[in-house]
Chains A and B, each alone.
Chain A
Amino acid sequence: MSTEEAQQPRIEELPDSPEAESAPETQEIPNDDSTIPEGSSIAIHSRNAKKAMQAVQKLGLKKVDGILRLVMRRSRTILFTISRPEVYQTPAGGYIVFGEIRVEDLGAPNMQNMQAAAAAAAAQQGAGEGGAPDVLADAAEGLKIQEEPEEEGEIDETGLSGEDIETVMGQANCSRAKAVKALKSNDGDIVSAIMECTA
């Protein structure tokens, strides 16, 4: 027994050696994709996506950096998410986004399952392209935040008009639950409710 224990730490230390992890991170990003080293952290796009991106850039779009995750909500529980998307802003203020879409169902039994699924996906992707795990860690964290307001369950909308709720949701870009809450706390005052949701 004791001999086994003595050996284990040595085995575990090996993959953690600093060179193995930091090397791909600090690598310069080359322009030619044929020279991208295995495990580099830059995103790999298909030829078509790349062409579209170049065309888009010619239209005078500004690249928006630092976006880790983009979430689109389809219905109450279905989310479309893009991890580490390429985001461009048009002069008019709209956005164009490139990236691989993933569907998430917030109605899934519980968070733990989803995190486990995310971790499994991370492990799979990690094999294909290095640097992915931390993106997914971010994604999992984002999920946690996203989940919170949903836990309130069914929302009591008595005394509120559906139109008002939708107006607040549309103007403030918030969830139905938040709009209902704001309308209630502001006693039906629409402008104040929108202000509360955007604050």
Chain B
Amino acid sequence: MSSQVTVPADFDPENAQNIEDLEKQFAVKAVLHAQTFWNLLEKKKGSEMKLTKMDDQLLEDFIKTFPKYADPKELSNISEDEMKSPEGKKQWREFMNRYEKTLNDYNFGTLLRKSASDEYAEETTIFVPRVQFLVFEIARNRNKLNDWIYEEAHKQ
């Protein structure tokens, strides 16, 4: 069993297109992921939730690398422009690459709410790699920023 994949002779990486169906699959998975996460938040308080087996480690590294997110206000409202600026991208790439081996799907596109006080909606959601989703949501969970979802669901 060899894992070698031969590249077609006429393949031009500079002009390669994504296969549309594959992209759709990807979107389906991202939405499913968001729904599953939301359901989980309704069932269980964010502050009592664990997302991975290494939440503590992720959180520590996250706050160390991006000290400004120790402030709950920053966690609650993410500036997408800042995060996706050339500088922000570089910092994040370095951060994420540390988890290439230890986190499943560390790079997989995932929906993240810009604000911890919003539901998933078109304008309130951004598309980020899995590691970014995890660190923000773990930090929000720990800061009890997601507990309102559970309380909302258990109001009656």
Contact = CB atoms under 8 A, between A and B. Distances in A.
Most chain B beta-carbon contacts within 10 A, residue among A159, A161, A163, A189: A189
Interface in A163-199: 163-164, 167, 170-171, 186-192, 194-195, 198
Contacts, number: 45
A192 B104 contact: yes
Contact of A195 (B33, B43, B103): B33
Interface string A41-61: 000000000000000000000
B53 A195 contact: no
B105 to A, nearest CB: 7
Q: Is the interface of B mostly helix, strand, loop or mixed?
A: loop
Q: Is the interface of A mostly helix, strand, loop or mixed?
A: helix
B37 A191 contact: yes
Give the interface size bracket for A toward B: 10 to 19
A46 B60 CA distance: 64
A194 B53 contact: no
A171 B33 contact: no
Most chain A beta-carbon contacts within 10 A, residue among B36, B37, B40, B54: B36
Given A194-B36, A195-B29, 7 more contacts: A171-B43, A186-B104, A187-B53, A188-B53, A188-B54, A192-B33, A198-B36
Nearest first, the 5 closest Cβ-Cβ pairs linking A and B are A188-B53, A187-B104, A191-B37, A194-B36, A191-B36
